[in-house]
Amino acid sequence: MEEIQSQSDHYRSSSSSASSPASRVPAFNFFYLRKPGSLGQPISFEDSPEWEDTDADMRVEEGGGDSINAATTSVSPSLSKLNSGSLPSPHLPEGAAVASKIAGASVAWKDLTVTIEGKRKYSDNVVKGSNGYALPGTMTVIMGPAKSGKSTLLRAIAGRLPPAAKMYGEIFVNGARMHMPYGSYGFVDLETTLIGSLTVREYLYYSAVLQLPGFFSQKKSVVEEAIHAMSLGDFANKLIGGHCFMKGLPSGERRRVAIARELMMRPQILFIDEPLYHLDSVSALLMMVTLKKLTSTGCTLIFTLNQSSTEVFGLFDRICLLSNGNTLFFGETLACLQHFSNAGFPCPIMQSPSDHFLRAINTDFDRIIAMCKNWQEGPLLKSKGKASNATRIAVLTWRSLLIMSREFKYYWLRLILYMLLTLCIGTIFSGLGHSLSSVVTRVAAIFVFVSFTSLLSIAGVPVLMKEIKIYASEESNQHSGALAFLFGQLLSSIPFLFLISISSSLVFYFLIGLRDEFSLLMYFVLNFFMCLLVNEGLMLAVVSLWKNIFQSVLTLVTIHVVLMLAAGYFRIRSKLPGPVWTHPLSYIAFHTYSIQGLLENEYLGVNFAIGQVRNISGFQALHSAYDISPRSNAKWENVLVLFLMAVGYRILVFVLLHFYARKNVSLHRLFRGKHNSTA
CB atoms within 10 A of CB 48: 9
State which of 266, 291, 319 marks the end of a domain: 266
Q: Looking at this protein, which amino acid is placed at residue 106? A: S
Say if 9 falls within a structural domain: no
Residue 521, domain member (yes or no): yes
Distance separating the N- and C-terminal Cα atoms of the chain: 52
Whether 368 is covered by a domain: the verdict is: yes
> Is residue 526 located within the same domain as residue 492?
yes
The predicted-structure confidence for 60-108, as pLDDT tens digits, reads as follows 333 333 333 222 223 333 323 333 333 333 443 444 444 456 667 899 9
pLDDT in the model for residue 2: 41
Do 334 and 459 lie in a common domain?
Answer: no
Average pLDDT, the chain: 77
Q: Looking at the structure, tell me whether residues 297 and 444 fall in a common domain.
A: no
pLDDT for res 362: 55
Model confidence at 122, pLDDT cuts 50, 70, 90, reads low
Contact criterion met (CB below 8 Å) for 137 and 161: no
| Half-sphere exposure (Cβ direction) of 439: Cα atoms closer than 13 Å | 22
* Residue finishing a domain among 241, 266, 291: 266
DSSP string covering 362-404: TTT---------SPPP-PPP-PPP---HHHHHHHHHHHHHHHH
| 139 SS3 class | strand
Given 266, 297, 323, the domain boundary residue is 266
Q: Provide the whole-model pTM.
A: 0.68
**Beta bridge mates, 185:** 269
The alpha carbon of 590 is separated from its chain's Cα centroid by a whole number of angstroms, namely 33
Distances (CA, A) of 188 to 234, 271, 397, 469, 476: 22, 6, 25, 14, 10
Same domain, yes or no: 491 and 524: yes
Whether the pLDDT of residue 221 is over 70: the answer is yes
What is the chain's alpha carbon radius of gyration, rounded to the nearest angstrom? 32
Structurally, the chain folds into a number of domains equal to: 3
Element (H, E) at 272: strand 269-272
For 308, phi and psi rounded to 5 degrees?
-150, 160
Confidence of residue 147 (pLDDT cuts 50, 70, 90): confident
Residues 262 and 273 occupy one common structural domain: no
pLDDT in tens, 492-531: 999 999 999 999 999 999 999 999 899 999 999 999 999 9
Domain assignment present for residue 75? The answer is no
- Please indicate, yes or no, if residue 112 is contained in any of the structural domains: yes
Per-residue model confidence (pLDDT) at position 366: 40
Structural domain contains residue 273: yes
Looking at residue 605, its pLDDT comes to 86
- Domain span at residue 429 reads 389-565+647-670
Answer yes or no: do 407 and 554 share one domain: yes
Domain assignment of residue 636, yes or no = no
Q: Is the pLDDT of residue 343 over 80?
A: no
Q: Does 285 score more than 50 pLDDT?
A: yes
Which among 179, 59, 112 has a CA at the least distance from the CA of 320?
112
Does 482 share its domain with 359? no
β-strands 73-74, 300-305: how paired? unpaired
Closest Cα to residue 171, out of 615, 675, 662?
675
- Assess whether 180 and 205 both reside in one domain: no
- For residue 603, being part of any structural domain is answered with no
Cα distance between residue 309 and residue 296, in whole Å: 22
Do 285 and 349 sit in the same domain of this protein?
yes
pLDDT tens digits along 437-477: 888 899 999 999 999 999 999 988 988 888 898 888 888 88
- Tell me the per-residue pLDDT of 544-601, one tens digit each, with 9 for 90 and over: 998 889 999 999 999 999 999 999 899 888 888 988 999 899 999 999 999 999 999 9
- Residue 414: the pLDDT is 85
pLDDT at 611 over 80: no
* CATH number, position 110: 3.40.50.300
Query: Are 431 and 548 part of one and the same domain?
Result: yes
Domain check: are 448 and 554 in the same one? Answer: yes
* Domain co-membership, 455 together with 543: yes
